[in-house]
A and B are shown apart, each in its own frame.
Chain A
């Protein structure tokens, strides 16, 4: 019964042909089959936000998305947000502000923040806190992350 099904996943604008079980989550396939380990497995219950990726531009939990149900979508992971040579304004601001400590939440934070700024290019501090409310960080206390997103928003506007 547990036979593998062939699907094509479009991740960061690259087509990948993979075989998956129906119950395989998008997170498991990204990490274990495509070696895209930027999305982290935290709670695997949709609570912590470390697995956040963009599906057709909107943020979703990769741990709550089945890979087989994601085959007709464009997936963006942290690996697709910028190049190693040139960080995105959000990434630079986060590095400058010290909004990264252990780094486990960082990719999810960045993708949620990216989606937030796309919908709302000039967010208030409260908008940022609400926008990131589904991403838990156990190190920084959030203050520097929120400051970094506000700073990046100002930079992008200029």
Chain B
């Protein structure tokens, strides 16, 4: 196994494109665990820890926040420049695994691995994040809902790496809520629900709902969101929204829960998460 530690992005891209079978090493929280289990044996490792610009978090002029791919979950969870509904990303980062693993794992690594049960994917889809990618063919930007394409599969091609995740500005006064159901603290979720909501009085102005852990990629339904927007949020419409989303999920049976259980529970989780978001909107008025 070869090991390289480039100091800038161009050098990393060149190493990745020159070495077939090269893999980026970010925080190691997943890749090294897989290497230890002999599930991954990359021929070449390109460590990204020497590339300082990948660790920056900055707010851009349009109110979006650009989180460098090497930002650790701990940094993202404690980041104070995310505001309004963007705080959904803090909330998701704060419930990943445990404090020690949050000190290792990175947003770029988590997103690139695309574990459907991970916490970032549904949160990033709900805030409409943009994944900034670079490779030997140049740079491109992909919306989070198009970035995740299947179980552990993204649009990333050989030789590409994630540079940053950009979280757009959310409506002023909006709130972000992330609910995760797990058997024990720190475990992967059985299911999770990410919500961004803004209310004007009793009327829903803006809503995004995304389900995690219930299929190959995060689940969201624009028609469910547009049915709720512009209305007061009644219990009936909220239960209907939960039911639609649960029907759109494609969960599997695994060690944590059955697919049937996930479908039942996720419907209730949607109702609960939106209700919490609504009550928090009231408190910030």
Q: How far is the CB of A19 from chain B (nearest CB, A)?
A: 13
Contacts of B98 in A (CB 8 A): 49, 133-134
Question: Within the complex, what minimum Cβ distance (angstroms) separates A40 from chain B?
Answer: 14
| Given A22-B1, A133-B186, A46 and B99 contact (CB-CB distance below 8 Å) | no
Per-residue 0/1 for B84-110: is the Cβ within 8 Å of any A Cβ (1 yes, 0 no)?
A: 000000000000011111011000000
Instruction: Let me know if B25 and A66 touch, CB within 8 A.
Output: yes
Report yes or no: A134 in contact with B100, Cβ–Cβ below 8 A.
yes
Please indicate the chain B residues that have their CB under 8 angstroms from the CB of A23 in the complex: 1, 35
B5 at interface by CB-CB < 8 Å: yes
Number of A-B contacts (CB under 8 A): 83
A13 and B101 alpha carbons, distance in the complex (Å): 24
Expressed in whole angstroms, the Cα–Cα distance for A112 and B2 within the complex equals: 32
What is the distance, in angstroms, from B24's C-beta to the closest C-beta of chain A?
A: 12
Known: A5-B3, A133-B185, A134-B186. A65 touches B32 (CB 8 A): yes
Is A52 at the interface (CB under 8 A from chain B)? yes
Is A97's beta carbon under 8 Å from chain B?
A: no
In the complex, the chain B residue whose C-beta lies closest to that of A23 is: B1
In the complex, which of the residues B43, B99, B104 contacts A130, with contact meaning CB atoms closer than 8 Å? Answer: B99
Contacts of B275 in A (CB 8 A): none
Is A1 an interface residue, CB under 8 A from the partner?
Answer: yes
B136 at the interface (CB under 8 A from A): no
B32 touches A66 (CB 8 A): yes
Asked if A100 is at the interface of the complex by the 8 Å CB criterion, the answer is no
Kindly state the separation between the CA atoms of A76 and B36 in the bound complex, as whole angstroms.
22
* Max chain B Cβ within 10 angstroms of own Cβ: one of A49, A63, A66, A115: A66
Query: Do B49 and A61 touch across chains, with their CB atoms under 8 A apart?
Result: no
Compute how far the CA of A116 lies from the CA of B98 in the bound complex, rounded to whole angstroms.
12
Q: Return chain A residues, CB-CB under 8 Å to B47.
A: 66, 69
Query: Is there contact, CB below 8 Å, between B104 and A22?
Result: no
- The reply to whether A134 and B101 form a contact with Cβ atoms under 8 Å apart is yes
Give bound CA distance, A5 to B98, whole Å: 32
- Are the CB atoms of B36 and A22 closer together than 8 Å? no
In the complex, B45 has a CB within 8 A of chain A: yes
The closest CB in chain A to the CB of B97 belongs to A134
> Which of B1, B37, B97, B103 contacts A59 (CB under 8 A)?
B103
**Closest CB of chain A to B23's CB: distance in Å?**
11
Check: B51 CB closer than 8 A to any chain A CB. no
CA gap between A63 and B104 in the complex, in Å? 12
- Contact: A52 with B36, CB < 8 Å? no
Chain B residue with Cβ nearest A59: B100
Which A residues are CB-close (under 8 A) to B33? 44-46, 63-64
> In the assembled complex, how far is the CB of residue B28 from the closest CB belonging to chain A, in whole angstroms?
5
| 18 other A-B residue contacts (CB within 8 Å) besides A52-B100, A116-B99 | A2-B1, A5-B3, A21-B1, A44-B37, A45-B37, A46-B104, A49-B98, A60-B103, A61-B100, A63-B36, A64-B36, A66-B28, A66-B32, A66-B47, A69-B49, A131-B99, A133-B99, A134-B97
Nearest 5 pairs of A and B residues by beta carbon: A134-B98, A22-B3, A22-B1, A134-B100, A64-B32
The 19 sampled A-B contact pairs (Cβ below 8 Å) are A22-B3, A22-B45, A23-B1, A25-B36, A45-B36, A46-B29, A59-B100, A63-B33, A64-B28, A65-B104, A66-B28, A66-B32, A66-B45, A66-B47, A68-B3, A116-B99, A130-B185, A131-B99, A133-B185
- On B, residues with C-beta under 8 Å from A are 1-3, 5, 25, 27-29, 32-33, 35-37, 43, 45, 47, 49, 97-101, 103-104, 185-186
